[in-house]
Structure 1
Amino acid sequence: MQHALIVEDVPETSEWLRDILTQTFGDIRTTQSMTCQQARDALQTQYFNLALLDLNLPDGSGIDLISCVRQRCPDAYIVITTIFDDEEHILKALRAGAHGYLLKDSPDARFIQKLRGILSGDPPLSPSISRRILRYFTEVNAEQHQSAVVSPPHTEASQLNQLSPREQEVLTLVAKGLSRNDVAKLLTLSNNTVARYIRDVYQKLNISSRAEAAVEACRMGLVNTDSH
Protein backbone atom coordinates (compact mmCIF):
# COMPACT_ATOMS: atom_id res chain seq x y z
CA MET A 1 0.00 0.00 0.00
CA GLN A 2 1.36 3.42 -0.99
CA HIS A 3 -1.37 6.01 -0.44
CA ALA A 4 -4.53 5.76 1.65
CA LEU A 5 -7.59 7.98 1.84
CA ILE A 6 -9.17 8.24 5.29
CA VAL A 7 -12.68 9.69 5.36
CA GLU A 8 -13.64 10.29 8.99
CA ASP A 9 -15.26 13.35 10.56
CA VAL A 10 -14.00 12.80 14.14
CA PRO A 11 -10.40 14.10 14.28
CA GLU A 12 -9.31 11.75 17.07
CA THR A 13 -10.63 8.73 15.19
CA SER A 14 -9.04 9.90 11.96
CA GLU A 15 -5.66 10.13 13.71
CA TRP A 16 -6.20 6.69 15.22
CA LEU A 17 -6.86 5.24 11.76
CA ARG A 18 -3.74 6.95 10.43
CA ASP A 19 -1.65 5.40 13.21
CA ILE A 20 -3.25 2.00 12.56
CA LEU A 21 -2.31 2.22 8.88
CA THR A 22 1.29 3.12 9.76
CA GLN A 23 1.51 0.14 12.11
CA THR A 24 -0.02 -2.11 9.44
CA PHE A 25 1.80 -1.06 6.29
CA GLY A 26 4.80 0.92 7.50
CA ASP A 27 5.69 3.85 5.25
CA ILE A 28 2.26 4.71 3.81
CA ARG A 29 1.06 8.17 2.81
CA THR A 30 -2.35 9.23 4.07
CA THR A 31 -4.82 11.90 3.09
CA GLN A 32 -7.51 12.69 5.65
CA SER A 33 -10.94 14.08 4.75
CA MET A 34 -13.77 14.98 7.10
CA THR A 35 -16.62 15.14 4.56
CA CYS A 36 -17.76 13.50 1.34
CA GLN A 37 -16.98 16.67 -0.59
CA GLN A 38 -13.43 16.87 0.75
CA ALA A 39 -12.95 13.24 -0.26
CA ARG A 40 -14.27 13.90 -3.76
CA ASP A 41 -11.92 16.87 -4.10
CA ALA A 42 -8.98 14.69 -3.04
CA LEU A 43 -9.97 12.02 -5.55
CA GLN A 44 -9.84 14.58 -8.34
CA THR A 45 -6.13 15.23 -7.84
CA GLN A 46 -4.67 12.14 -6.14
CA TYR A 47 -4.57 8.38 -6.68
CA PHE A 48 -5.21 6.04 -3.77
CA ASN A 49 -4.50 2.35 -3.27
CA LEU A 50 -6.67 2.10 -0.15
CA ALA A 51 -9.75 3.95 1.10
CA LEU A 52 -11.14 3.79 4.64
CA LEU A 53 -14.65 5.22 4.59
CA ASP A 54 -16.84 6.11 7.55
CA LEU A 55 -20.60 5.83 7.04
CA ASN A 56 -22.06 8.70 9.02
CA LEU A 57 -20.53 11.89 7.61
CA PRO A 58 -21.76 15.52 7.85
CA ASP A 59 -22.76 15.67 4.19
CA GLY A 60 -23.65 12.07 3.41
CA SER A 61 -22.55 8.47 3.78
CA GLY A 62 -19.31 6.77 2.91
CA ILE A 63 -21.37 4.37 0.83
CA ASP A 64 -22.06 7.29 -1.52
CA LEU A 65 -18.29 7.59 -2.07
CA ILE A 66 -17.69 3.99 -3.11
CA SER A 67 -18.63 4.50 -6.75
CA CYS A 68 -16.50 7.64 -6.90
CA VAL A 69 -13.46 5.81 -5.50
CA ARG A 70 -13.97 2.91 -7.89
CA GLN A 71 -14.23 5.29 -10.85
CA ARG A 72 -11.21 7.44 -10.00
CA CYS A 73 -9.03 4.68 -8.49
CA PRO A 74 -10.13 1.35 -10.02
CA ASP A 75 -7.47 -0.65 -8.16
CA ALA A 76 -8.17 0.85 -4.75
CA TYR A 77 -9.15 -1.45 -1.90
CA ILE A 78 -12.25 -0.01 -0.21
CA VAL A 79 -12.95 -0.72 3.47
CA ILE A 80 -15.88 0.65 5.45
CA THR A 81 -14.82 1.65 8.99
CA THR A 82 -17.81 2.33 11.20
CA ILE A 83 -19.70 1.62 14.42
CA PHE A 84 -22.81 0.40 12.56
CA ASP A 85 -23.08 -3.40 12.60
CA ASP A 86 -26.65 -3.86 11.35
CA GLU A 87 -27.43 -5.94 8.28
CA GLU A 88 -28.87 -3.04 6.30
CA HIS A 89 -25.63 -1.03 6.37
CA ILE A 90 -23.41 -4.09 5.88
CA LEU A 91 -25.23 -5.45 2.83
CA LYS A 92 -25.69 -2.02 1.27
CA ALA A 93 -21.95 -1.35 1.55
CA LEU A 94 -20.91 -4.72 0.10
CA ARG A 95 -23.41 -4.44 -2.75
CA ALA A 96 -22.08 -0.97 -3.55
CA GLY A 97 -18.63 -2.46 -4.00
CA ALA A 98 -16.84 -2.29 -0.64
CA HIS A 99 -14.17 -4.95 -0.22
CA GLY A 100 -14.27 -4.99 3.57
CA TYR A 101 -16.19 -3.85 6.62
CA LEU A 102 -14.46 -3.20 9.96
CA LEU A 103 -15.94 -2.03 13.23
CA LYS A 104 -14.08 0.81 14.90
CA ASP A 105 -14.58 -0.66 18.35
CA SER A 106 -12.35 -3.63 17.44
CA PRO A 107 -9.08 -3.99 19.39
CA ASP A 108 -6.10 -2.41 17.65
CA ALA A 109 -4.38 -5.76 17.16
CA ARG A 110 -7.40 -7.27 15.43
CA PHE A 111 -7.90 -4.16 13.28
CA ILE A 112 -4.28 -4.36 12.15
CA GLN A 113 -4.55 -8.10 11.52
CA LYS A 114 -7.62 -7.66 9.32
CA LEU A 115 -6.06 -4.83 7.31
CA ARG A 116 -2.82 -6.76 6.89
CA GLY A 117 -4.86 -9.61 5.43
CA ILE A 118 -5.45 -7.44 2.36
CA LEU A 119 -1.90 -8.22 1.26
CA SER A 120 -2.62 -11.96 1.22
CA GLY A 121 -6.05 -11.61 -0.36
CA ASP A 122 -8.16 -12.06 2.78
CA PRO A 123 -11.23 -9.80 3.05
CA PRO A 124 -11.04 -7.42 6.04
CA LEU A 125 -14.28 -8.32 7.80
CA SER A 126 -14.80 -8.05 11.54
CA PRO A 127 -15.79 -11.50 12.91
CA SER A 128 -19.22 -10.27 13.99
CA ILE A 129 -19.80 -8.88 10.50
CA SER A 130 -19.01 -12.25 8.89
CA ARG A 131 -21.46 -13.94 11.24
CA ARG A 132 -24.20 -11.43 10.43
CA ILE A 133 -23.71 -11.89 6.68
CA LEU A 134 -23.90 -15.66 6.97
CA ARG A 135 -26.90 -15.54 9.32
CA TYR A 136 -28.75 -13.15 7.01
CA PHE A 137 -28.39 -15.40 3.98
CA THR A 138 -29.21 -18.49 6.00
CA GLU A 139 -32.52 -16.84 6.93
CA VAL A 140 -33.10 -15.82 3.31
CA ASN A 141 -32.44 -19.38 2.16
CA ALA A 142 -34.87 -20.69 4.76
CA GLU A 143 -37.60 -18.32 3.57
CA GLN A 144 -36.99 -19.32 -0.04
CA HIS A 145 -37.17 -22.99 0.90
CA GLN A 146 -40.53 -22.45 2.60
CA SER A 147 -41.93 -20.78 -0.52
CA ALA A 148 -40.47 -23.36 -2.91
CA VAL A 149 -43.75 -25.33 -3.05
CA VAL A 150 -45.46 -22.37 -4.70
CA SER A 151 -42.61 -20.99 -6.76
CA PRO A 152 -39.33 -22.91 -6.70
CA PRO A 153 -36.34 -20.55 -7.02
CA HIS A 154 -33.89 -21.57 -9.73
CA THR A 155 -31.35 -18.75 -9.53
CA GLU A 156 -29.09 -20.32 -6.91
CA ALA A 157 -29.19 -23.74 -8.54
CA SER A 158 -28.41 -22.36 -11.99
CA GLN A 159 -25.47 -20.35 -10.64
CA LEU A 160 -24.18 -23.38 -8.76
CA ASN A 161 -24.41 -25.46 -11.93
CA GLN A 162 -22.16 -22.92 -13.67
CA LEU A 163 -19.33 -23.95 -11.38
CA SER A 164 -17.35 -27.13 -11.73
CA PRO A 165 -16.98 -29.34 -8.62
CA ARG A 166 -13.44 -28.02 -8.12
CA GLU A 167 -14.60 -24.41 -8.47
CA GLN A 168 -17.32 -25.06 -5.88
CA GLU A 169 -14.68 -26.52 -3.58
CA VAL A 170 -12.42 -23.49 -3.99
CA LEU A 171 -15.33 -21.07 -3.47
CA THR A 172 -16.34 -22.88 -0.27
CA LEU A 173 -12.84 -22.67 1.19
CA VAL A 174 -12.46 -19.01 0.23
CA ALA A 175 -15.83 -18.25 1.83
CA LYS A 176 -14.66 -19.90 5.05
CA GLY A 177 -11.79 -17.42 5.22
CA LEU A 178 -8.88 -19.49 3.93
CA SER A 179 -6.15 -17.58 2.13
CA ARG A 180 -5.06 -18.50 -1.38
CA ASN A 181 -1.96 -20.22 0.02
CA ASP A 182 -4.06 -22.24 2.46
CA VAL A 183 -6.43 -23.34 -0.30
CA ALA A 184 -3.49 -24.37 -2.47
CA LYS A 185 -1.96 -26.45 0.32
CA LEU A 186 -5.25 -28.07 1.28
CA LEU A 187 -6.12 -29.05 -2.29
CA THR A 188 -2.52 -29.83 -3.27
CA LEU A 189 -2.56 -27.26 -6.07
CA SER A 190 -0.20 -24.49 -7.10
CA ASN A 191 -0.95 -20.91 -6.09
CA ASN A 192 -1.33 -20.00 -9.77
CA THR A 193 -3.91 -22.75 -10.30
CA VAL A 194 -5.93 -21.61 -7.29
CA ALA A 195 -5.71 -18.01 -8.50
CA ARG A 196 -7.10 -19.13 -11.87
CA TYR A 197 -9.97 -20.97 -10.20
CA ILE A 198 -10.81 -17.90 -8.09
CA ARG A 199 -10.70 -15.67 -11.15
CA ASP A 200 -13.02 -17.98 -13.08
CA VAL A 201 -15.45 -18.20 -10.16
CA TYR A 202 -15.53 -14.41 -9.83
CA GLN A 203 -16.26 -14.04 -13.54
CA LYS A 204 -19.02 -16.64 -13.55
CA LEU A 205 -20.74 -15.16 -10.49
CA ASN A 206 -20.09 -11.56 -11.54
CA ILE A 207 -18.37 -10.68 -8.26
CA SER A 208 -15.12 -8.89 -7.51
CA SER A 209 -14.14 -9.50 -3.89
CA ARG A 210 -13.79 -12.21 -1.27
CA ALA A 211 -16.53 -10.59 0.77
CA GLU A 212 -18.95 -11.06 -2.14
CA ALA A 213 -17.66 -14.61 -2.58
CA ALA A 214 -18.57 -15.39 1.04
CA VAL A 215 -22.04 -13.97 0.50
CA GLU A 216 -22.60 -15.98 -2.69
CA ALA A 217 -21.28 -19.22 -1.19
CA CYS A 218 -23.70 -18.86 1.73
CA ARG A 219 -26.60 -17.97 -0.57
CA MET A 220 -25.96 -21.07 -2.68
CA GLY A 221 -25.78 -23.29 0.38
CA LEU A 222 -22.07 -24.11 0.12
CA VAL A 223 -21.32 -22.75 3.60
CA ASN A 224 -23.07 -23.94 6.73
CA THR A 225 -23.33 -21.24 9.38
CA ASP A 226 -23.37 -23.90 12.10
CA SER A 227 -19.67 -24.36 11.50
CA HIS A 228 -18.86 -20.72 12.29
Structure 2
Amino acid sequence: MKNIVILEDDKSFRELIMSEFDKCNDMQCVASYDKIKDLISDLGTLESDFFWLDISLPDGKSTDFIAEIKQMHPNALVMLCTMHDDDENIFEALKEGADGYILKNTALDKMTDAVYDLFKGGSPMSPFIARKVLHSFRPAENSSGDLKNLTAREKEILSLLAQGYLYKEVADDCTISLETVKKHVQNIYKKLHVQNRTEAIIKFLKEK
Protein backbone atom coordinates (compact mmCIF):
# COMPACT_ATOMS: atom_id res chain seq x y z
CA MET A 1 0.00 0.00 0.00
CA LYS A 2 1.38 3.39 -1.04
CA ASN A 3 0.88 6.26 1.42
CA ILE A 4 -0.09 9.59 -0.12
CA VAL A 5 0.15 13.07 1.42
CA ILE A 6 -1.75 15.92 -0.22
CA LEU A 7 -1.06 19.66 0.07
CA GLU A 8 -3.88 21.63 -1.55
CA ASP A 9 -5.74 24.69 -0.28
CA ASP A 10 -8.80 24.30 -2.51
CA LYS A 11 -11.01 22.17 -0.26
CA SER A 12 -13.28 20.89 -3.03
CA PHE A 13 -10.36 19.87 -5.24
CA ARG A 14 -8.50 18.34 -2.30
CA GLU A 15 -11.50 16.22 -1.36
CA LEU A 16 -11.96 15.22 -5.00
CA ILE A 17 -8.37 13.97 -5.24
CA MET A 18 -8.67 12.17 -1.92
CA SER A 19 -11.81 10.40 -3.15
CA GLU A 20 -9.92 9.26 -6.26
CA PHE A 21 -7.19 7.72 -4.13
CA ASP A 22 -9.83 6.06 -1.96
CA LYS A 23 -10.95 4.16 -5.07
CA CYS A 24 -7.48 2.66 -5.52
CA ASN A 25 -6.76 -0.65 -3.81
CA ASP A 26 -3.02 0.01 -3.54
CA MET A 27 -2.91 3.70 -2.54
CA GLN A 28 -4.28 5.59 0.44
CA CYS A 29 -4.26 9.22 1.54
CA VAL A 30 -2.74 9.27 5.02
CA ALA A 31 -2.72 13.06 5.51
CA SER A 32 -3.90 16.23 3.81
CA TYR A 33 -3.06 19.89 4.39
CA ASP A 34 -4.11 23.31 3.18
CA LYS A 35 -1.06 25.16 4.56
CA ILE A 36 2.65 24.56 4.04
CA LYS A 37 3.55 25.22 7.67
CA ASP A 38 1.29 22.41 8.85
CA LEU A 39 2.80 19.92 6.43
CA ILE A 40 6.37 20.92 7.33
CA SER A 41 5.52 20.72 11.03
CA ASP A 42 4.43 17.09 10.60
CA LEU A 43 7.12 16.15 8.08
CA GLY A 44 9.25 14.23 10.54
CA THR A 45 6.37 12.00 11.68
CA LEU A 46 4.79 11.28 8.30
CA GLU A 47 5.22 7.90 6.63
CA SER A 48 4.70 8.81 3.00
CA ASP A 49 5.66 7.32 -0.35
CA PHE A 50 4.29 10.22 -2.37
CA PHE A 51 3.67 13.95 -1.90
CA TRP A 52 1.01 15.61 -4.05
CA LEU A 53 1.65 19.37 -3.90
CA ASP A 54 -0.08 22.48 -5.13
CA ILE A 55 2.39 25.33 -5.67
CA SER A 56 0.67 28.47 -4.39
CA LEU A 57 -0.64 28.15 -0.85
CA PRO A 58 -1.93 30.84 1.55
CA ASP A 59 1.41 30.85 3.39
CA GLY A 60 3.86 30.53 0.51
CA LYS A 61 5.08 28.28 -2.30
CA SER A 62 5.55 24.55 -1.90
CA THR A 63 8.49 24.60 -4.33
CA ASP A 64 10.53 26.30 -1.59
CA PHE A 65 10.20 23.13 0.50
CA ILE A 66 10.68 20.33 -2.04
CA ALA A 67 14.34 19.97 -1.08
CA GLU A 68 13.40 19.68 2.60
CA ILE A 69 10.74 17.10 1.81
CA LYS A 70 13.27 15.11 -0.24
CA GLN A 71 15.83 15.34 2.53
CA MET A 72 13.41 14.06 5.15
CA HIS A 73 11.89 11.46 2.82
CA PRO A 74 14.62 10.51 0.32
CA ASN A 75 12.64 7.60 -1.12
CA ALA A 76 9.39 9.51 -1.53
CA LEU A 77 8.21 10.93 -4.85
CA VAL A 78 6.96 14.49 -5.31
CA MET A 79 4.52 15.66 -7.96
CA LEU A 80 3.18 19.17 -8.50
CA CYS A 81 -0.46 19.56 -9.51
CA THR A 82 -1.10 23.22 -10.18
CA MET A 83 -2.66 25.85 -12.39
CA HIS A 84 0.76 27.46 -12.98
CA ASP A 85 2.05 26.84 -16.50
CA ASP A 86 4.69 29.58 -16.64
CA ASP A 87 8.40 28.90 -17.15
CA GLU A 88 9.46 30.26 -13.77
CA ASN A 89 7.31 27.91 -11.71
CA ILE A 90 7.90 24.91 -13.96
CA PHE A 91 11.68 25.13 -13.88
CA GLU A 92 11.84 26.07 -10.22
CA ALA A 93 9.88 22.92 -9.38
CA LEU A 94 12.03 20.67 -11.56
CA LYS A 95 15.24 22.26 -10.31
CA GLU A 96 14.20 21.67 -6.70
CA GLY A 97 13.63 17.99 -7.40
CA ALA A 98 9.99 17.50 -8.41
CA ASP A 99 9.47 14.10 -10.03
CA GLY A 100 6.40 15.13 -12.02
CA TYR A 101 4.42 18.22 -12.99
CA ILE A 102 0.80 18.16 -14.14
CA LEU A 103 -1.84 20.83 -14.56
CA LYS A 104 -5.15 20.93 -12.71
CA ASN A 105 -7.07 20.82 -15.97
CA THR A 106 -5.81 17.26 -16.48
CA ALA A 107 -8.56 14.63 -16.51
CA LEU A 108 -8.93 12.81 -13.19
CA ASP A 109 -8.10 9.42 -14.67
CA LYS A 110 -4.94 10.88 -16.21
CA MET A 111 -3.95 12.25 -12.81
CA THR A 112 -4.24 8.79 -11.28
CA ASP A 113 -2.30 7.33 -14.22
CA ALA A 114 0.43 9.91 -13.62
CA VAL A 115 0.84 8.77 -10.01
CA TYR A 116 1.09 5.12 -11.08
CA ASP A 117 3.57 6.13 -13.77
CA LEU A 118 5.75 7.79 -11.14
CA PHE A 119 5.82 4.67 -9.00
CA LYS A 120 6.80 2.66 -12.09
CA GLY A 121 9.79 4.89 -12.83
CA GLY A 122 8.26 7.51 -15.11
CA SER A 123 8.40 11.30 -14.89
CA PRO A 124 4.91 12.41 -15.89
CA MET A 125 4.26 15.88 -17.18
CA SER A 126 1.18 17.33 -18.82
CA PRO A 127 1.85 17.52 -22.58
CA PHE A 128 1.81 21.32 -22.48
CA ILE A 129 4.41 21.31 -19.69
CA ALA A 130 6.55 18.76 -21.53
CA ARG A 131 6.61 20.98 -24.62
CA LYS A 132 7.61 24.03 -22.61
CA VAL A 133 10.43 22.11 -20.95
CA LEU A 134 11.72 20.84 -24.27
CA HIS A 135 11.52 24.19 -26.01
CA SER A 136 13.29 25.97 -23.17
CA PHE A 137 16.30 23.69 -22.81
CA ARG A 138 19.33 24.39 -24.95
CA PRO A 139 20.97 21.17 -26.15
CA ALA A 140 24.58 20.64 -25.08
CA GLU A 141 27.23 21.71 -27.55
CA ASN A 142 29.03 18.36 -27.49
CA SER A 143 25.96 16.19 -27.69
CA SER A 144 26.88 12.57 -28.36
CA GLY A 145 24.83 9.58 -29.29
CA ASP A 146 22.92 9.27 -32.55
CA LEU A 147 19.30 8.55 -33.24
CA LYS A 148 20.47 6.26 -36.02
CA ASN A 149 21.60 3.84 -33.30
CA LEU A 150 18.01 3.41 -32.17
CA THR A 151 15.72 0.72 -33.51
CA ALA A 152 12.46 1.68 -35.20
CA ARG A 153 10.56 0.69 -32.05
CA GLU A 154 12.87 2.76 -29.83
CA LYS A 155 12.39 5.79 -32.08
CA GLU A 156 8.63 5.30 -31.93
CA ILE A 157 8.69 5.16 -28.14
CA LEU A 158 10.95 8.20 -27.86
CA SER A 159 8.66 10.15 -30.19
CA LEU A 160 5.67 9.34 -27.97
CA LEU A 161 7.58 10.37 -24.84
CA ALA A 162 8.44 13.66 -26.54
CA GLN A 163 4.70 14.24 -26.98
CA GLY A 164 4.17 13.89 -23.23
CA TYR A 165 2.84 10.32 -23.19
CA LEU A 166 2.97 8.39 -19.92
CA TYR A 167 4.67 4.97 -19.95
CA LYS A 168 1.25 3.29 -19.70
CA GLU A 169 -0.02 5.29 -22.68
CA VAL A 170 3.09 4.33 -24.67
CA ALA A 171 2.47 0.67 -23.84
CA ASP A 172 -1.17 0.93 -24.94
CA ASP A 173 -0.31 2.81 -28.13
CA CYS A 174 2.43 0.34 -29.11
CA THR A 175 0.47 -2.71 -27.91
CA ILE A 176 3.30 -3.88 -25.68
CA SER A 177 3.68 -4.40 -21.94
CA LEU A 178 4.71 -1.70 -19.50
CA GLU A 179 7.84 -3.68 -18.62
CA THR A 180 8.81 -3.81 -22.30
CA VAL A 181 8.44 -0.03 -22.54
CA LYS A 182 10.74 0.40 -19.55
CA LYS A 183 13.34 -1.91 -21.10
CA HIS A 184 13.22 0.03 -24.36
CA VAL A 185 13.60 3.31 -22.47
CA GLN A 186 16.70 2.02 -20.66
CA ASN A 187 18.17 0.95 -24.01
CA ILE A 188 17.42 4.41 -25.42
CA TYR A 189 19.26 6.04 -22.52
CA LYS A 190 22.31 3.82 -23.06
CA LYS A 191 22.44 4.38 -26.81
CA LEU A 192 22.04 8.16 -26.53
CA HIS A 193 24.38 8.42 -23.53
CA VAL A 194 21.79 10.23 -21.41
CA GLN A 195 20.58 9.84 -17.84
CA ASN A 196 16.90 10.67 -18.02
CA ARG A 197 13.83 11.27 -20.14
CA THR A 198 14.37 15.01 -20.58
CA GLU A 199 17.92 14.59 -21.91
CA ALA A 200 16.77 11.86 -24.30
CA ILE A 201 13.94 14.01 -25.67
CA ILE A 202 16.26 17.00 -26.11
CA LYS A 203 18.54 14.87 -28.29
CA PHE A 204 15.56 13.52 -30.18
CA LEU A 205 14.32 17.02 -31.02
CA LYS A 206 17.80 18.22 -31.96
CA GLU A 207 18.73 15.34 -34.25
CA LYS A 208 15.46 14.26 -35.81
TM-score by length of 2: 0.74
Contact 2:6 2:29 in 1 (8 A): no
> Which aligned pairs between 1:35-74 and structure 2 lie closer than 5 A?
35-74=35-74
User: Helix, strand or coil for the counterpart of 2:31?
Assistant: strand
Question: More deviation in 115-124 or 80-89?
Answer: 115-124
Match of 2:200 in 1: 217
What is the distance in 2 between the residues matched to 1:113 and 1:192? 16
Match of 1:5 in 2: 5
With over 3 angstroms needed to count, the CA separation of the structure-2 counterparts of 1:40 and 1:198, relative to structure 1, is farther
Cα RMSD (Å): 3.7
Contact 2:52 2:79 in 1 (8 A): yes
Contact 2:70 2:76 in 1 (8 A): yes
Question: Which structure would you say has the larger Rg?
Answer: 1
Gaps of 5+ in 1: 142-155, 208-212
Identity of aligned residues (%): 23
Q: Deviations over 1:40-70 (max 9, x none)?
A: 1221111210001111012211111211111
Q: 4+ runs of 1 displaced by more than 4 Å?
A: 24-27, 169-175, 189-201
What is the distance in 2 between the residues matched to 1:35 and 1:17? 17
What is the distance in 2 between the residues matched to 1:95 and 1:85? 15
What is the distance in 1 between the residues matched to 2:134 and 2:28? 33
What is the distance in 2 between the residues matched to 1:4 and 1:11? 17
What is the distance in 2 between the residues matched to 1:11 and 1:195? 38
User: Helix, strand or coil for the counterpart of 1:9?
Assistant: coil
Contact 1:43 1:72 in 2 (8 A): yes
Q: More helix by proportion, 1 or 2?
A: 1
User: Helix, strand or coil for the counterpart of 1:5?
Assistant: strand
Is residue 144 of structure 2 the alignment partner of residue 160 of structure 1? yes
Contact 1:24 1:112 in 2 (8 A): no
TM-score by length of 1: 0.68
Aligned length: 197
User: Helix, strand or coil for the counterpart of 1:222?
Assistant: helix
- Deviation of 1:90 after TM superposition, in Å, equals 1.0
